[in-house]
Amino acid sequence: MPRPTVATSLSAKLLLLTILFVLLAEVLIYAPSIARFRMSYLEERLAAAHIAALSVEAAPDLMVTKELQAKLLAYTGTHVIDLIQPGARVYMLSRPMPPQADAVYDLRGTGMGMQFVDAGNALWLALEGALGGAVEPQRNRVIRVIDRSPNDPAQRVEVTMDERPLIDAMLDFSRRILAVSVAISLIAAILVYVTLHALLVRPMRRLTAEVVAFRRDPDGAPPLVPGTRADEIGVAERELAAMQGTVRAALRQRERLATLGTAVAKINHDLRGILSTASLLSERLTESADPEVRRVTPRLVASLDRAVELCSQTLSFTRDGVLPLSPAPTDLRRLVEEVGAEVLATARPDGGRVEADWVNEVPAGTLAQVDAAQLGRALVNLGRNAVQAGADRVRISIQAEPANRLTLTVADNGPGLAPRARENLFQPFAGSARAGGVGLGLAIAREVLRAHGGELRLVESDAAGTAFALDIPQCNADTGAVAVAAHKSFVSH
């Protein structure tokens, strides 16, 4: 598995995201900051204008010389200063030819929202001027500002001033904010990167390397030694170590079971041949002149037949693996009839023939897209379980389901399943639906149904009988006439 590059690594993404998030936070902080800076700048001009206007009160006859007036206006950076005191008394300083105001800003009662708008408009005009999209008067407007005096709220100050110095101060403040923001983001990103790299990235790389090594060689990879951390990384390390131990134990157990299964399959193969020979020889005992020998011979033959069946089922179960299916349109009624003939030919435990009614309620012409041999094998297992458990009537019915599915129901009137059989119904070798069985018939039948994309499930089981449902795919008929495909004869294994 290729290692991630520097650009695609978790560390690089973490560093980049930290820088972006810090810059985003600074942008959100910048908006109220620049609005507050503009207000502070104007308040300083108004406070200075208030002090300058008070010189009128100290001048003889309330008249200030032109030279002093020019100095005061230059000091405050204004063209006109009006100080309105209580009682409508006005002190005024003005240049000889003051310019006309392009905009008026009354700061009395101005909310934060309007401060944002005014600051944004000022910066937008500055941006237009920098890009050459605005004419000179728009870039250097003359504004009139009105507010209560910061020195005495009872007095009102009105000033006419150039906006360009204000914009230059705002731009200089913005540049300082940008420099501080970049520095803070880089410092924060480096600190966060170093911290999270030590706390998260390095442990995650270690865990990833352990997983990759374990996937490549579960037995050869060294076991993970979890640390003493109590956080989520520590929990992940301990759980991974426990999982590795469990998987290694399961793999070793699987190898032993595979070896054992191979040995059992060989033994069963040889045992099946021995039992078949014994069965053939036992049939000659029926010709014995001894009445007692002739009486017990059917039981002996039936026992040998059951032993051969057990060997056959065990071999089939260990050999099958993934069932090879060859689905084709199959006439279900005909298939059920052939299954019934084989089930009724089954010998009872005492050696006698089965006496039971096989009721086929599947309508003629019902087609299913199945492997006839494998589905017949599953039906044979269900039918044999029923008749060998004591049922004298087995009924097979069918019902159409949505999404082109069919449900076959195999119901009998036997004594029902024992509690132990219900608990381990589909577990091979864990229980059986009939006395003397080993629990392979239902397990094999379920594998057949699942290989078809369906399911085998127990519908009910009580003193009145047992019913199983088989979910199978329906045959899709072409538009127009439906041609019945040639039926594949099944071979029961």
Question: Using one digit for the tens of pLDDT, what is the confidence trace for 416-425?
Answer: 887 777 777 7
Confidence bin at 135 (pLDDT 50/70/90): very low
Which of 117, 91, 88, 93 lies closest to 105, judged by CA? 117
Which of 145, 159, 142, 118 lies closest to 35, judged by CA? 118
Distance, CA of 138 to CA of 119 (rounded, Å): 15
Which of 179, 177, 156, 173 lies closest to 122, judged by CA? 173
Query: By the 8 A CB rule, do 412 and 393 touch?
Result: yes
Residue 130 CB neighbour total at 10 angstroms: 11
Distance, CA of 314 to CA of 438 (rounded, Å): 9
Distance, CA of 9 to CA of 480 (rounded, Å): 60
Query: By the 8 A CB rule, do 469 and 459 touch?
Result: yes
Distance, CA of 102 to CA of 79 (rounded, Å): 13
| One-letter-per-residue 3-state SS of 309-343 | HHHHHHHHHHHHCCCCCCCEEEEHHHHHHHHHHHH
Distance, CA of 389 to CA of 356 (rounded, Å): 12
Query: By the 8 A CB rule, do 417 and 371 touch?
Result: no
Confidence bin at 363 (pLDDT 50/70/90): very high
Which of 145, 175, 179 lies closest to 163, judged by CA? 145
49 vs 22, residue with greater confidence: 49
What would the mean pLDDT of 266-295 be, rounded to a whole number?
71
Which of 275, 356, 348 lies closest to 308, judged by CA? 275
The sheet that has 456-462: what strands, in order across it?
357-360, 393-401, 405-412, 465-473, 456-462
Query: By the 8 A CB rule, do 133 and 94 touch?
Result: no
Residues counted in the chain: 493
Query: By the 8 A CB rule, do 386 and 414 touch?
Result: yes
- The tens digit of pLDDT for each residue in 319-342 reads 555 566 788 999 999 999 999 888
Q: What is the pTM of this model?
A: 0.44
Lowest-confidence segment of 24-28, 311-315, 324-328 by average pLDDT: 311-315
Residue 359's identity, in one-letter code, is V
What would the mean pLDDT of 236-261 be, rounded to a whole number?
81
**Which helix H or strand E contains 103, and what residues bound it?**
strand 103-106
For the chain, counts of helices (H) and of strands (E)? 12, 12
Confidence bin at 5 (pLDDT 50/70/90): low
- The structure tokens listed for 11 are 């560390």
Percent of the chain with pLDDT over 70: 77
- The tens digit of pLDDT for each residue in 109-132 reads 778 788 878 888 887 877 765 555
Which of helix, strand or coil describes residue 368?
Answer: strand
Task: Give the end-to-end CA distance of the chain in Å, rounded to a whole number.
Answer: 45
- The tens digit of pLDDT for each residue in 405-415 reads 899 999 999 88
| Phi, psi (degrees; rounded to nearest 5) at 94 | -155, 150
Query: By the 8 A CB rule, do 440 and 314 touch?
Result: yes
pLDDT at 134 over 50: no
Percent of the chain with pLDDT over 90: 14
430 vs 469, residue with greater confidence: 469
Which of 309, 279, 294, 453 lies closest to 381, judged by CA? 309
pLDDT at 253 over 50: yes
Which residues are CB-neighbours of 459 under 8 A, at least 6 positions away? 409, 411, 467, 468, 469
